[in-house]
Amino acid sequence: MPNFRNVLIPAPKSRFIRVRCNQCGNEQVIFDHATVEVRCLVCGNLLARPTGGRAEILGTVVKVLE
């Protein structure tokens, strides 16, 4: 039996946030630990960029969803 306590990675404090696109004003919900670039669904503007931890948010954060 492997000791799973040594295997589990502590869950990061990750959240979903509502971000407004600075280019077209569209709001969409994104993951704040995004590991891929997140683009606006309307105009394709970059909203978040992965940094290895918490994503760098390039749009305007409207609301943090718990």
Contact in structure between 52 and 34 (CB atoms under 8 Å): no
Report CA-CA distances (Å) from 57 to 3, 5, 54, 62.
37, 33, 9, 11
Quote the least distance from Cβ 50 to Zn ion, whole Å.
Answer: 19
User: Can you give the binding site for Zn ion, defined by CB under 5 A?
Assistant: 21, 23-24, 26, 40, 42-43, 45
Quote the least distance from Cβ 58 to Zn ion, whole Å.
Answer: 11
Name which of 39 and 54 has its Cβ closer to Zn ion. 39
Quote the least distance from Cβ 34 to Zn ion, whole Å.
Answer: 16
Tokens of 40: 């606006």
